[in-house]
RNA sequence: GCCUCCUUAGCUCAGUCGGUUAGAGCGACGGACUGUUAAUCCGCAGGUCCCAGGUUCAAGUCCUGGAGGGGGCGCCA
């Protein structure tokens, strides 16, 4: 650390700051400067200080008898302070080291009468309404450290495998990505929209000279790059203007979309399973303290629930179980047979009974397969072509496509992907069947005209992964500032 | 978009059949204590019962409408 400082050209006052994560494992006997926010001030003597570098607080011991009482009054929950002191072996239980304060400076006062966070448990619903402050809680600081670690691990996973990180466009001129309602992007004056002679909106006068939207998927662009670079992935924001009101949908979310030339559906499943297991293992290795806290939080929360609604496994057990077993792979057709013969189907417990092949699976069916029948992650493949996208490769017999959905307990679909249709004629026919305007997608079709190859890819919902790993249940709690219908606060 | 539940103190909630002065725990504040661990003990303050309208002698409670929030479903990642 001091080595780095030596090379700084500009003096930087924060440079003297020791992070709490570092000081907690430092050797006692040295002076340090720490800065952070007060969690509690006990007994007019013990400050629990947190700077977000880790879950744990640093205990600051104040010599209150020789300290200015008006200063002590300002050490309140939420106040930002700077402490110079000596790190010593703790004289109390509960921590190994503590800092004896030699100098206390209030950086930012915090009026406890109006500060919403109190040294007590708050509901997730309440914290959601004060999302600008919820980072200061144990739960949310843990979630966002885990979220960061997952994001980093994704780049590491792909980089270690020689993938190229592709920045697919966020503004798209294509309205045929086929993944749902889009947000329009325009600089036209909405109070005075220019019209053509026919009365249509005159998009030629818009910023890009055409109608544009926010992307719903980087897949099509990733395919273009994969057919030259072979192994690519995107990791960026994605926007869906669906009126979705659930605990697992957002209007703005982050998606990882690998796309690999020469891969078939089996390679695609292998990549998806390897990646998910790598990411879970990485978090187990690097976020132990946060995971243990989140696990304990879950236990406390589930104490409120009846026995039958509680998890069978603890959070960390669940993650390790996921690593220890191969994901169950089966076709849609096999899944339909299992569901058809399942007890809930026979007893009429499904809201949508399984009657015949071809029906789309409802989330109750997916849950049954994952949570009751197999009790582990499941990859469903080879769905009927009618219920999947135009770009998925037709199987022999032309009834099914080489699609795959990875289903996780509690989350449902965490990955959706497929081997892509690489045959020009077949792709063109499928686009016509599904009313995709081929003339607007010549650039996409060109890859099939010029040196086409089999290839495959998938989309991983980043927040759904964070949900699973943290054991949280509402996707709005694993993204800093969630966007959903009727809400774009902060 | 559909279904359902909720909205009472800063937070979490109780509030009986519609009945007269709306409660608790935690937090905050004041004091005591001073090696505490969301400290403890004593004390004190704190209310537009989400909003609007209606029924009634009387509404936190019943009815209608609206707003906000939770959960489920659909769309999907």
By C-alpha distance, which of A360, A363, A356 is closest to A337? Answer: A356
Per-residue confidence (pLDDT) for residue A177, from 0 to 100: 58
Per-residue confidence (pLDDT) for residue A242, from 0 to 100: 93
**3-class SS shares of chain A: helix, strand, coil, % to 5:** 35, 25, 40
User: Gap from A117 CA to B23 C1', in Å?
Assistant: 24
C-alpha distances in angstroms, A392 versus A58, A268, A416, A431?
54, 13, 11, 11
Report pLDDT digits (tens) over A246-264: 999 999 999 999 999 999 9
CB atoms within 10 A of CB A49: 24
User: Gap from A30 CA to B28 C1', in Å?
Assistant: 37
- Residue A128 contacts by C-beta under 8 Å, 6 or more apart in sequence? A134, A476, A477, A482
C-alpha distances in angstroms, A181 versus A171, A320, A438?
14, 37, 19
Residue A130, nucleotide of least CA–C1' distance: B11
Residue A361, nucleotide of least CA–C1' distance: B74
By C-alpha distance, which of A490, A480, A488, A470 is closest to A254? Answer: A480
A452, A458 contact by CB (below 8 A): no
A288, A320 contact by CB (below 8 A): no
Per-residue confidence (pLDDT) for residue A128, from 0 to 100: 95
User: Gap from A125 CA to B5 C1', in Å?
Assistant: 15
Q: What is the Cα A423 distance to its own chain's centre? A: 34
Q: Tell me the C-alpha distance between A78 and A76, whole Å.
A: 6
User: Gap from A129 CA to B52 C1', in Å?
Assistant: 25
| pLDDT-based confidence at residue A11 (cuts at 50, 70, 90) | very low
Per-residue confidence (pLDDT) for residue A176, from 0 to 100: 60
Report pLDDT digits (tens) over A87-107: 999 999 899 999 999 999 999
Q: Tell me the C-alpha distance between A403 and A458, whole Å.
A: 9
User: Gap from A90 CA to B10 C1', in Å?
Assistant: 34
User: Gap from A462 CA to B16 C1', in Å?
Assistant: 49
- Residue A196 contacts by C-beta under 8 Å, 6 or more apart in sequence? A202
User: Gap from A474 CA to B5 C1', in Å?
Assistant: 17
| pLDDT-based confidence at residue A320 (cuts at 50, 70, 90) | very high
Q: Tell me the C-alpha distance between A335 and A357, whole Å.
A: 10
Q: Where are the alpha helices (DSSP H) in A191-264?
A: 219-229
Per-residue confidence (pLDDT) for residue A153, from 0 to 100: 98
Q: With a cut of 80, say whether residue A465 has pLDDT above it.
A: yes
Q: Tell me the C-alpha distance between A418 and A264, whole Å.
A: 8
Report the sign of the C-alpha dihedral through residues A20, A24, A27, A28, in that order: positive
Angle CA(A240)–CA(A456)–CA(A246) in degrees, nearest 5?
A: 25
Per-residue confidence (pLDDT) for residue A238, from 0 to 100: 96
Cβ neighbourhood burial of A157 (10 Å; 0-12, 13-18, 19+): buried
Residue A351, nucleotide of least CA–C1' distance: B73
For B46, nearest residue by CA–C1' is A113
Among A1-5, A286-290, A390-394, the range scoring the smallest mean pLDDT is: A1-5
User: Gap from A84 CA to B55 C1', in Å?
Assistant: 68
Per-residue confidence (pLDDT) for residue A303, from 0 to 100: 80
User: Gap from A247 CA to B4 C1', in Å?
Assistant: 15
Mean pLDDT in chain A?
93
User: Gap from A46 CA to B33 C1', in Å?
Assistant: 14
Report pLDDT digits (tens) over A426-456: 999 999 998 888 888 999 999 999 999 999 9
β A252-261/A231-239 pair status: antiparallel
User: Gap from A130 CA to B10 C1', in Å?
Assistant: 13
* Residue that the structure tokens 């192994």 belong to: A231
Per-residue confidence (pLDDT) for residue A2, from 0 to 100: 46
Residue A477, nucleotide of least CA–C1' distance: B70
For B35, nearest residue by CA–C1' is A92
Q: With a cut of 90, say whether residue A417 has pLDDT above it.
A: yes
Residue A116, nucleotide of least CA–C1' distance: B10
By C-alpha distance, which of A179, A274, A163 is closest to A225? Answer: A163
Over residues A462-473, mean pLDDT: 97
Tell me which DSSP letter residue A17 carries.
Answer: B
A418, A409 contact by CB (below 8 A): no
Report pLDDT digits (tens) over A158-198: 999 999 999 999 999 876 656 678 999 999 999 999 999 99
For B37, nearest residue by CA–C1' is A94
Over residues A348-363, mean pLDDT: 91
Over residues A103-112, mean pLDDT: 94
Positions of E strands within A117-251: 164-165, 171-172, 184-185, 212-214, 231-239
Residue A217, nucleotide of least CA–C1' distance: B77
Per-residue confidence (pLDDT) for residue A179, from 0 to 100: 67
Q: What is the largest CA-CA distance in chain A?
A: 86
Residue A46, nucleotide of least CA–C1' distance: B36
| pLDDT-based confidence at residue A311 (cuts at 50, 70, 90) | confident
Q: Tell me the C-alpha distance between A264 and A284, whole Å.
A: 30
Q: Tell me the C-alpha distance between A415 and A257, whole Å.
A: 9
Nucleotides, chain B, CB distance < 7 Å: 1-3, 10-13, 26-30, 33-39, 68-77
pTM: 0.94
- Residue A227 contacts by C-beta under 8 Å, 6 or more apart in sequence? A261, A447, A451, A452, A453, A455
Q: Which residues, listed in sequence order, are joined to residue A42 by a DSSP beta bridge?
A: A46
Q: Which residues, listed in sequence order, are joined to residue A108 by a DSSP beta bridge?
A: A80
Residue A44, nucleotide of least CA–C1' distance: B34
Per-residue confidence (pLDDT) for residue A175, from 0 to 100: 67
For B34, nearest residue by CA–C1' is A43
Report pLDDT digits (tens) over A114-154: 999 998 889 999 999 999 999 999 999 999 999 999 999 99
Residue A57, nucleotide of least CA–C1' distance: B37
User: Gap from A123 CA to B16 C1', in Å?
Assistant: 28
| pLDDT-based confidence at residue A3 (cuts at 50, 70, 90) | very low
Total residue length of chain A: 490
Report pLDDT digits (tens) over A204-223: 999 999 999 999 999 999 99
* Tokens of residue A488, six digits: 């774009």
Residue A364, nucleotide of least CA–C1' distance: B73
User: Gap from A56 CA to B32 C1', in Å?
Assistant: 31
Per-residue confidence (pLDDT) for residue A178, from 0 to 100: 63
């Amino acid at each position: 650390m001091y080595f780095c400082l030596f090379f700084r050209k500009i003096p930087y006052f924060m440079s003297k700051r020791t992070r709490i994560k570092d000081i907690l494992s430092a050797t006692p006997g040295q002076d340090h400067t720490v800065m952070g926010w007060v969690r509690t001030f006990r007994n007019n003597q013990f400050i629990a200080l947190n700077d977000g570098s880790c879950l744990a607080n640093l205990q600051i011991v104040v010599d209150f008898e020789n300290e200015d009482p008006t200063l002590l009054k300002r050490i309140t929950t939420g106040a930002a302070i700077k402490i110079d002191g000596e790190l010593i072996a703790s004289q109390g239980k509960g921590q190994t080291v503590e800092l004896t304060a030699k100098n206390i400076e209030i950086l930012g006062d915090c009026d406890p009468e109006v500060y919403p966070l109190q040294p007590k448990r708050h509901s997730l619903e309440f914290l959601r309404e004060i999302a600008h402050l919820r980072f200061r809680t144990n739960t949310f600081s843990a979630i966002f450290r885990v979220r960061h670690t997952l994001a980093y691990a994704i780049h590491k996973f792909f980089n270690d495998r020689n993938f190229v990180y592709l920045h697919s466009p966020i503004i798209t001129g294509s309205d045929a990505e086929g993944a749902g309602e889009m947000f329009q992007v325009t600089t036209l004056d909405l109070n005075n929209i220019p019209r053509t002679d026919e009365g249509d909106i005159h998009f030629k006068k818009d910023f890009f000279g055409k109608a544009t939207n926010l992307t719903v998927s980087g897949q099509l662009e990733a395919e273009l790059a994969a057919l030259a670079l072979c192994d690519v992935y995107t990791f960026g924001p994605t926007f869906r203007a669906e009126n979705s009101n659930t605990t697992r949908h957002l209007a703005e979310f982050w998606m990882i979309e690998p796309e690999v030339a020469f891969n078939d559906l089996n390679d695609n499943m292998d990549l998806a399973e390897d990646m998910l297991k790598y990411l879970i293992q990485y978090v187990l290795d690097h976020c132990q303290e946060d995971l243990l806290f989140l696990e304990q939080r879950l236990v406390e929360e589930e104490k409120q629930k009846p026995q039958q609604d509680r998890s069978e496994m603890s959070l960390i057990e669940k993650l390790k179980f996921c690593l220890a077993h191969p994901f169950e792979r089966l076709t849609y057709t096999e899944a339909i047979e299992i569901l058809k013969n399942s007890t809930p189907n026979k007893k009429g417990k499904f809201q949508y009974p399984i009657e015949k092949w071809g029906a789309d699976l409802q989330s109750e069916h997916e849950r049954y397969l994952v949570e009751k029948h197999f009790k582990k992650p499941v990859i469903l493949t080879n769905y009927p072509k009618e219920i999947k996208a135009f770009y998925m490769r037709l199987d022999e017999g032309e009834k099914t496509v080489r699609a795959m959905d990875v289903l996780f307990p509690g989350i449902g679909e965490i990955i959706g992907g497929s081997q892509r249709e690489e045959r020009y004629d077949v792709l063109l026919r499928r686009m016509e069947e599904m009313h995709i305007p081929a003339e607007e997608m010549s650039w996409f079709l060109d890859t099939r005209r010029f040196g086409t190859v089999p290839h495959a890819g998938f989309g991983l919902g980043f927040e759904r992964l964070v949900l699973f790993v943290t054991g949280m249940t509402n996707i709005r709690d694993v993204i800093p500032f969630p966007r959903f219908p009727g809400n774009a606060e902060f």
